[in-house]
Structure 1
Amino acid sequence: MRVTPLCCESSSSPIIPPFCCGQRVSVEYNYERVDPSRWRSREKGVWRYRELLPDVKEIVSLQEGGTPLLRAKLSEELGFEIFIKDETRNPTGSFRDRLVTVAVSYGIPHAESGFIVASNGNAAASLAAYSARTEKPAYTVVPRLVEEGKLSQITAFGARLIRYGESVDEGIGYAEGLADGKGLYNITPESNLIGLEGQKTIAFELWEELNPTHIVVPTGSGSNLYSIYKGFVELLRIGAIDEVPELIAVQAERCSPIASEVLGVEPRAEPTKALGLYVRNPAMKELALEAISKSSGTAVLVGEDELDLGQRLLAKEGVFAEYASSVIIPALLKLSEEGYFEKDDRVTLVVTSSGLKGQYSESRERFSLGGTKLEILRLIEDGEMYGYEVWEALGKPLRYQAVYQHLRELESMGLIEESRRKGRRVYYRLTGRGKKFLEMMG
């Protein structure tokens, strides 16, 4: 393994930042000496591809990687081949186990005081598990908005949980400061590229099993998208493939800093039910954009009201995914309707994390729903209403434009829906989910 360019401070630094002295940093290997035919005789998993991974003295593994590739029933309906790469089968239920096995194995000699990661949940849960195997402390910096299942994993494995900021972006610098102050080895991918070498093995597995033409990837920070791209570029360099498959980034409409740039629309940076994709200012944005551009790919935006559909359709395939992964199905359907795919294409959907850890429960809505929204729901419970009518009924010192914003947000949460229009008036009614929610509130 070699790092180019050499880092400004020290070429022997155990931390490999994405950028150094204004230049891109890249982890490279002696590609001329790599013979992929050797992989076939080895056990499946991340370390099967050790010639294209960092040298380590000790491998810390929970048998990650080698995840199933399932042919989707949707193939028959849509008229082209669709496959699901089910990363929920990893030891802690997400693709981040690939990152953490490499980062922890590489970092052990430099982690006398332990490890640290800034994460929106999955990498934190993974680090908690793998560091437990090393018997070294793990510090996890996670935002306030994170699913309960991931928090349960973190604490169950004995990691130290630090809540900081609303989104993971805010925690990255904080984790770097803690790493320096406490002598911790930082595996946060936005601070240290080493773990991405593990994530890229998704590309190697896909090549061995399918050699896809398109790969649809849920995208928050952009690290997984870039990792997969790097993996295929390395397959290109060793002569295993002739071209890189098209990479398709999928983001939630409410948080779309990468996809919006690809599509040329105004970006948004608001909380979404797909919390794993809530990254307001991704440090790896430029790397993700490069991956999309150089693979001739594209991006898709998915609305909040499409997340449940995506989760249900994946469940019909036998895969239970969190909302952050479920975006791939609505994205696939949109592209199919636009005629983006051809009948001989081989499309892979990457499911990054299990619904068992990422389900956005109604209990979360119960505690996050503001008083005004609850009042609006109770008003509409008595019968359909339009915005101005709701504003008058509230009788609050509140601008009526704010009421329309509340209505849009309640609609995006699936609690109300448009019932009819009369001229410029849009009438709303409760959905079944909205009725159930109010019953739960008592």
Structure 2
Amino acid sequence: MEVKCPRCGRTYSKVIPPKCVCGEELEITYDYSIVDVKRWSGRNRGVWRYKELLPDVRKVISMREGGTPLFKAKLGEELNLNIFIKDETRNPTGSFKDRFVTVAVSYGLPYAENGFIVASDGNSAASLAAYAARANRDAFLVVPKKVDKGKLIQMIAFGGKIIRYGESVDDAIPYAKELAKLNGLYDITSSSNLIGLEGQKTLAFELWEDLMPTHILVPTGSGSNLYSIYKGFRELLEIGAIEEMPRLVAVQTERCSPIASEILDISGKTEFTKALALYVREPINKERAVRAVRESGGTAVIVNEEELDLGEKALAKEGVFAEYASAVVVPALFKLKEDGYFEKDDKIALVITGSGLKSVYEERERSMITGTKLEILRILRDSPSYGYEIWEKLAKPMKYQAVYQHIKELQALGLVEEAYKRGRRIYYKLSSKGLRLLENIEE
């Protein structure tokens, strides 16, 4: 692995910034002359199958991420096109970000004695919480106020230290960067960490091995995944595995389309979108993403908010439950088909980046912890109480024995724990996990 500034010649090792001190963008390169792709077929599927084109690490922190399924979509029969779904929801934490995080955490481990930090709108934070737990390191997760509740629950479950800051990830990024400097934390935010992008590019290697598509539709927020896929295919060109790069299509929503608008040369908006993972007002990887699309000969598509439900339902019929931020590729596909963009023999890949199970909105979360259980959590937040005492405070027409059943279930979820005993009475209190969950429900 080598990192050398193309402008001033300065070389970098260890902690690698996205830009040189002279202001030039940096990029990680390898000795491509020694890469033999035939070796890959003899290894297990997954990110680390392609280790010759990944940074050297002392210890791999992995949960068998990557190697996700690619299958033909029924949708193609309706449109008379060859359409394939690359289902990244099958990664360990349910999103493509596990590719990024396994490499970033493995590489950053020697520099993360005090822990890792990330600014994220959800998926990266949930992933880091899981991988940092595997690495026995703390994970500090700077997330905006507007974030999918399901992802917050993941972060809590994995023991992440959540810091709520700003309205969108754009506000969280500089704050996380400052916290990293002040506290000696290794920052894996995609805008600050080139190493993790190397993990994401393995998606391109898998698409090449399984399909070699002519077109790839990519949900686009920060632009990091789009650029990573482009870099992966460019390296396949470099080693002679392919002769032509597939066309990349950036997909964004009409309410937040800074990258797509730039590609299409139109004015765009940077407003809140219910496809939360795509709510990035000022994507730092914008230039890289735009260049990736243009150099691949691709394009961009902007979809309406009301089309997101259509995309989610269409993917559900394929057996894939995708978050809105992934479902955007379906209406984009319809638009391109209508415009005559594809030819009959094209092989079109739809990248589904994150699971719908992670997009738990507030009303869905309340349906999980609601009614009596939610009231019990609020009672125990005020002070430790025993079962009969909780029953009296609830003042509901129910048997007091039912309260103990609720407590038992809350204990099983790790939200309530024993505080102390006084005689035969057991007093219960909120666990730290229960307190964080209650705070996030009431946010």
Q: Distance in 2 between matches of 1:8 and 1:155?
A: 44
* Distance in 1 between residues matched to 2:11 and 2:239, nearest whole Å: 29
CA distance in 2, matches of 1:14, 1:272: 34
Q: Distance in 2 between matches of 1:19 and 1:167?
A: 27
Give me the whole-angstrom Cα distance separating, in 2, the residues matched to 1:202 and 1:249.
16
Aligned residue for 2:215? 214
Distance 1:236 1:214 in 2: 16
Query: Aligned in 2, Cα 1:91/1:9: closer, same or farther, shift over 3 Å?
Result: same
Whether the 8 Å contact between 1:273 and 1:360 is mirrored in structure 2 is: no
Large movers: runs of 4+ above 2 Å: 6-13, 359-366
Residue 18 of structure 1 contacts residue 190 of structure 1 at CA under 8 Å; is this kept in 2?
no
Q: State percent identity of aligned pairs.
A: 64
Q: Tell me if structure 1 keeps the 8 A contact 2:4–2:12.
A: no
How many residue pairs get aligned? The number is 366
> Which residue is equivalent to 1:113?
114
- The reply to whether residue 95 of structure 1 matches residue 96 of structure 2 is yes
1:145-169 CA-to-partner distances (Å, cap 9, x unmatched) read 1000000001111110001111101
Instruction: Point out where structure 2 has 5 or more consecutive residues left out of the alignment.
Output: 368-443
Q: Which residue number in structure 2 is paired with residue 4 of structure 1?
A: 4
Deviation at 1:297, TM superposition (A): 0.4
Q: How does 1:216-231 map to 2 (within 5 A)?
A: 216-231=217-232
Contact 1:322–1:359 (CA under 8 A) maintained in structure 2: no
| 1:21-76 Cα shifts (integer Å, max 9, x gaps) | 22110100000000001000000000000000000010000110000001000111
Match of 2:50 in 1: 49
**In structure 1, how many angstroms separate the alpha carbons of the residues matched to 2:165 and 2:311?**
30
Unaligned runs of 5+ in 1: 367-442
Secondary structure of 1:325's match? helix
Output one character per residue of 1:378-429: Cα deviation in whole Å (capped at 9) or x when no partner. Answer: xxxxxxxxxxxxxxxxxxxxxxxxxxxxxxxxxxxxxxxxxxxxxxxxxxxx
1:343 is matched by which residue type in structure 2? K
Report if aligned partners of 2:119, 2:173 keep a CA contact under 8 Å in 1. Answer: yes
SS of alignment partner, residue 12 of structure 2: coil
Give the TM-score normalised by structure 1.
0.81
Cα pair 2:214 2:346 within 8 Å, conserved: yes
CA contact (8 A) 2:150 2:365 kept: no
2-structure distance, mates of 1:363, 1:109: 40
1:416 match? none
C-alpha distance in 1 between matches for 2:161 and 2:294: 39
The equivalent of 1:21 in structure 2 is 22
Q: Partner letter of residue 342 of structure 1?
A: E
Cα shift readout 1:131-158 (whole Å, capped 9, x = no counterpart):
0011111101111110000000011111
Deviations 1:156-199 (A, max 9, x none): 11110001111101111111111111100111110111100000
> Contact 1:8–1:21 at 8 Å: present in 2 too?
no
> For residue 125 of structure 1, what is the aligned residue in structure 2?
126
2:264 is matched with which residue?
A: 263
Q: Which whole-Å CA distance do the structure 2 matches of 1:240 and 1:227 have between them?
A: 17
Amino acid at match of 1:93: G
User: What is the match of residue 134 of structure 1?
Assistant: 135
Post-superposition CA distance 1:296-330 (Å, at most 9, x none)? 00000011100000000000000000000000000
TM-score normalised to structure 2 length = 0.80
Preserved CA contact (<8 Å) 1:213 1:345: yes
1:163 equivalent in alignment to 2:164: yes
Residue 364 of structure 1: CA displacement? 8.8
